[in-house]
Amino acid sequence: MNIIIVEFVVYCLLILAIGYYFSKRSKSHSDFLLGGKKLPGWTLAFSERATGESAWLLLGYTGFVFMTGLSGIWVAVGIAIGIIFAWLFLAKKFMSETDKYNVLTLPDYLAVRFGEKAKIIRWLTSILIAGFLMFYVGAQMAGAGKMLFTTFGLPPTAGILLATIVIIIIAFAGGFISVVWTDMIQSIMMVITLVALPIAALIYIQANDLSINASLIQAGDSYNSWFGGLTGFAIGVLFFNNFSWFFGFLGGQPQLSARFMALKNNKEARQGSIVAIIWTLLAYGGAFMIGITAIAIYDQGSFHDAEIILPTMILELFPPWIAGLLLAGVLAAIITTADSQLMVVTSSVSEDIIHKTLGMNFTEKQLIWISRISIVFFGLIGMVIALVSESLLYLVVSWAWAGVGCTLSPAILLTFFWERYSSAGVVATVLAGLVSTILWISTPLESIITSKFTTFFIALFFGIAVSLLLPDKTEKIHSLSEKNI
């Protein structure tokens, strides 16, 4: 155990050192929030993947597969298709739109693009992002508590406090540039963990004459079925509930879209898409296999919390010095995602609200310090959420995914691909997504059809309907001139 502690300490010091080194490159507010368009495409791809796949993938999703069996594959399929679609069809569009409108954040882009209701759009999107992503940050810190409890027997509260300190220091030091470069290191650690562990588990299963198929049958009637043993309409519900993660990847997650906005050119975008797609296939294939092999190794009911399966397997299947390195990959997932989400919340407050909406003029240094103070403030709020919440990582992240990603994705898709989308339509999209998510997760309906599915289509419907009813004035003028011609 001593060697694991040493490796953890060395790893955290290394990450902090990298963050400090790159903090010197953040000379302007643009550098602090978006890297000043100076980062290579491959680093942005690693960062985007590490940011997108947090503690919920290593702890939440592996535990979910352990509890559901083969049907858990549809979560991975939906996410993988969403990631590939985003990198192939949206990344370059984000890059070009950022250059065209000279913006630093997703709310700023929507506000500048639809200027008639710019202030309302900034306020609504910033409130939406800050509100839901704070629970996402809290989920990461809760994940840190679970992992350190499993590894060292450390009280979850102490683990949450330690993770909070590291997370805040990295984001505070150098903003976006520090976060992306530390993400890159941690993204590599994550994928090594997700590839190495299922290989070790399969070797263990073979050596001990265990059977995955027999274990799936023994676990329960639904475990060895790709559709959970369901038939008819129930299959469709299960498919859409699991596949629905796809809808949040269509441009609506600001912590992911920021990486697209930071791309320099088409060459870097192509480079990034290759890295991101390969990473996704390896990581999700590995995470799924970890959950499946765990069913063969452990009996159902062996864990009071299924989300500690991955660190438990690492400690049991690897010698301590390797286990320490792989568990650092779990810590990596927590740190990268929490840092990126803190940066998104911070940018919404400092750039979209204080600088743009309230019109307060500050120097570049003052804006950076406002951002840093926001990082500390919201980091502490996330810590409090983690300390008082007992919700599952998978569930909390699912709600945040619906509230932010599945609300803003329709707004982005309509902005990119439908010329008649109006400023009133943007407001309607965000309001409909926000209200429907809160109402849906507060009722038993969430257990029937997930809000990730319903939020997307409710927000999409209201965005289209209100745009047709209330077009922008510029569109009306354009339509009249076309008739006169």
Please state the length of the chain: 485
Instruction: Pick the closest to residue 395 from 450, 342, 329 (CA basis).
Output: 450
Instruction: Pick the closest to residue 243 from 70, 443, 80 (CA basis).
Output: 80
How many helices and strands in the chain, by DSSP H and E? 22, 0
Model pTM? 0.79
Contact 169, 16 (CB under 8 A): yes
Give the CB-side neighbour count of residue 467, counting CA atoms within 13 A.
22
* 283/190 Cα distance (integer angstroms): 8
Contact 307, 394 (CB under 8 A): yes
Give the CB-side neighbour count of residue 84, counting CA atoms within 13 A.
11
* 254/260 Cα distance (integer angstroms): 10
* 49/453 Cα distance (integer angstroms): 22
* 471/84 Cα distance (integer angstroms): 33
Residue 478: per-residue pLDDT: 42
Instruction: Pick the closest to residue 61 from 435, 398, 443, 438 (CA basis).
Output: 398
Alpha carbon 162 to chain centroid, angstroms: 21
- Show the tokens assigned to 271: 């480079």
Sign of the four-CA dihedral 91, 28, 124, 97: negative
Check whether domain 2-392 has CATH 1.20.1730.10, yes or no: yes
Query: Tens-digit pLDDT profile for the chain (485 aa)?
Result: 567 778 777 777 777 777 677 666 555 555 555 555 678 889 889 988 877 776 678 888 898 899 889 988 988 998 899 999 999 999 999 999 988 988 878 888 998 899 888 889 988 988 888 888 777 778 778 777 777 777 777 787 888 888 788 778 767 765 667 677 777 887 888 888 899 999 999 999 999 998 999 999 888 888 888 887 665 666 666 666 778 888 888 888 887 888 898 888 899 999 999 999 999 999 999 999 999 999 999 888 777 778 788 888 998 999 888 888 787 767 766 776 777 777 777 777 776 777 677 767 777 677 777 777 888 888 888 888 888 765 555 566 777 778 888 999 999 999 999 999 999 999 999 999 999 998 988 888 887 888 888 999 999 999 999 999 999 876 544 443 334 43
Residue 477: per-residue pLDDT: 42
According to DSSP, residue 265 is labeled S
According to DSSP, residue 215 is labeled H
Q: Residue written as tokens 């320490």?
A: 324
Residue 57: per-residue pLDDT: 83
Q: Phi-psi category of 36—alpha, beta or left, where left has phi over 0 and alpha has psi -120 to 50?
A: left
Contact 414, 456 (CB under 8 A): no
